[in-house]
Amino acid sequence: MPREVFKPSAPLVIALRIWNPGLSWGAMTSGVRDHGPYWITDSERAMAEIDAAQKGLQLSLTPALIVITGECGIGVCLLLLWIAERERRELLYFALYLIATGLSLVLGAWVAFSGASSYWYRLGFRPLNDVAFLFLCMAAALFLRLRPLRWQILAAAAVLSAALTFRTIFYLYPWLILLVWQCVTALRKSARANLPFALPLLIYTVAILNNTLDSGLRIFPASIGFAGTTLSVTNLIQLLFAGAMLILMLERLSSDRREKLRLASELDSAREIQRSLLPQAAPQIEGYSVGFRSSACCEVGGDYLDIFALPSGEQVMIVADVAGKGLPAACRNVLPIRFPRRRRGGRIVDRGSRRTHRTAALERGTGGPPALCHRDLSKARPRRSFRRRGECRA
């Protein structure tokens, strides 16, 4: 209400209701009710009340802005991280949780400080919190390395929460039950591994639960005074929870990065090993030109190529393709194929037990040089296919 409305000593009597956010900020989520207090006053007193309310509003906005900025800031950071990495879907879910929570706080603050109807509070603030907790439950399953919650369970929680949204302040209870259940399951599975994620989650859950209880039943107060302002303990815990999750997620991403570097290094080694298995040069055969080329689509390939000479002087050339691509195919490619290879001096080296019936069959083969073999190795049961090489016959 503008100050100009009130003129000193004017014989005006007005009915005035002022909700002092400086006192009620801590219970913002449950304290906004259109029930007064109302009283009859004159213009001087009304001006004094308005002055006090505006001062309280300014003081209350500071912690609100800190919480909102903190939550949305961390949420945006996590969202950008997810966009950059496109891995760890918990990053996305947790970012959406934080952004939805931040937006709900913006809406709640607007409702509280503008004096808008609490209808908006129920229509905007609470449904946004429902959405936020849906994402939190989905993120928690991934944080705690549990199986994702079934959509039926999530849908049931959402329906129940929506049904409670317009009636009670206990509308988050379905989500809180799910979160506690997930934490307990994860801790029973592996307390040591899951405690860093489960503990902040449980503390946060208890803080929300505490906020919905009557003041006499609360474990800790809903708000505390600090530097002339009132801080919501729940919002403070929420902010600390978001910060803890950010640190834990960064640590997990860093661990992922180290693992990727290790795997990349091993793949480099595998690529080098595979290249060394290819013939180093085409054989020089009088009257013939021989050429080969191989390029893998992944770090290592599933194709195999070999050229070697038999004791009879015949040249054997093999082109093989293992079903599949990448490392699995490369492993099947290298392991079962153990043909004798030519040494530098051109001698055939029989590798003892690696000598196969197939080699013997090839040695028996007739026909002028070079002999050619073109085959396809199935990914099915490579060990058995190794034995069956002996069944090739001329």
Partner 1 sequence: MNAGHNAGFVVEPEGAVRTIEASGPPLGILPGARYSIETFRFPEGSRLLFYTDGMTEVFRADDEEFGPERLLERFRECRERDCDGMLNSIWQALKEFAGEIRQRDDMTALALHRRQAVQSVNP
* Total residues binding partner 1 (CB under 8 A): 50
- Least Cβ distance, residue 325 to partner 1 (angstroms): 6
Q: Which of 156, 163, 378, 390 binds partner 1 (CB under 8 A)?
A: 378
Q: Which of 262, 288, 347, 351 binds partner 1 (CB under 8 A)?
A: 288
Under rule CB under 8 A, which residues in 221-260 are in contact with partner 1?
none
Q: Which two tokens stand for residue 289?
A: 């030109």
Asked if residue 342 binds partner 1 (CB under 8 A), the reply is no
CA pair distance 79, 77, nearest whole angstrom: 5
Asked if residue 392 binds partner 1 (CB under 8 A), the reply is yes
Using the rule CB under 8 A, give the single segment among 25-33, 138-146, 189-197, 292-300 that binds partner 1. Answer: 292-300
Q: Which residue's CB is nearer to partner 1, number 164 or number 290?
A: 290
Using the rule CB under 8 A, give the single segment among 123-131, 141-149, 185-193, 367-375 that binds partner 1. Answer: 367-375
Q: Around Cβ 389, how many Cβ atoms within 10 Å?
A: 18
Query: Among residues 106, 166, 180, which one has the least CA distance to residue 130?
Result: 166
Q: Which of 321, 328, 338, 348 binds partner 1 (CB under 8 A)?
A: 321
Q: Which residue's CB is nearer to partner 1, number 344 or number 393?
A: 393
Q: What one-character DSSP code corresponds to residue 121?
A: I
Residues 6+ apart with CB under 8 A from 62: 229
Q: Around Cβ 22, how many Cβ atoms within 10 Å?
A: 19
CA pair distance 203, 105, nearest whole angstrom: 20
- Least Cβ distance, residue 266 to partner 1 (angstroms): 19
Q: Which of 295, 346, 352, 353 binds partner 1 (CB under 8 A)?
A: 295
Asked if residue 329 binds partner 1 (CB under 8 A), the reply is yes
Q: Which two tokens stand for residue 173?
A: 């209870």
Strands 315-322 and 371-377: parallel
Q: Which residue's CB is nearer to partner 1, number 162 or number 373?
A: 373
- Least Cβ distance, residue 276 to partner 1 (angstroms): 16
Q: Which residue's CB is nearer to partner 1, number 8 or number 291?
A: 291
Map tokens 């989500």 to a residue.
Answer: 175
CA pair distance 285, 87, nearest whole angstrom: 52
Cβ atoms 134, 171 nearer than 8 A: no
Asked if residue 312 binds partner 1 (CB under 8 A), the reply is no
Q: Which two tokens stand for residue 260?
A: 């990727």
CA pair distance 139, 53, nearest whole angstrom: 40
CA pair distance 184, 176, nearest whole angstrom: 12
Burial of 380 (0-12, 13-18, 19+ CB in 10 A): exposed
Q: Which two tokens stand for residue 29?
A: 């989520």
Q: Around Cβ 91, how many Cβ atoms within 10 Å?
A: 27
Under rule CB under 8 A, which residues in 107-126 are in contact with partner 1?
none
Q: Which residue's CB is nearer to partner 1, number 108 or number 370?
A: 370
CA pair distance 366, 371, nearest whole angstrom: 8
Q: Which of 289, 313, 338, 339 binds partner 1 (CB under 8 A)?
A: 289
- Least Cβ distance, residue 339 to partner 1 (angstroms): 14
- Least Cβ distance, residue 87 to partner 1 (angstroms): 20
Asked if residue 293 binds partner 1 (CB under 8 A), the reply is yes
Asked if residue 331 binds partner 1 (CB under 8 A), the reply is no
Q: Which of 66, 123, 233, 290 binds partner 1 (CB under 8 A)?
A: 290
Q: Which of 271, 325, 338, 341 binds partner 1 (CB under 8 A)?
A: 325
3-state class (DSSP) for residue 280: coil
- Least Cβ distance, residue 261 to partner 1 (angstroms): 23
Asked if residue 163 binds partner 1 (CB under 8 A), the reply is no
Using alpha carbons, list the distances in angstroms from residue 308 to 311, 313, 337, 338: 10, 10, 13, 12
CA pair distance 194, 159, nearest whole angstrom: 29
Q: Which residue's CB is nearer to partner 1, number 263 or number 372?
A: 372
CA pair distance 261, 256, nearest whole angstrom: 9
Binding site for partner 1 (CB under 8 A): 282, 287-298, 301-305, 307, 317, 319-321, 323, 325, 329, 365-367, 370-382, 384-385, 388-389, 391-394
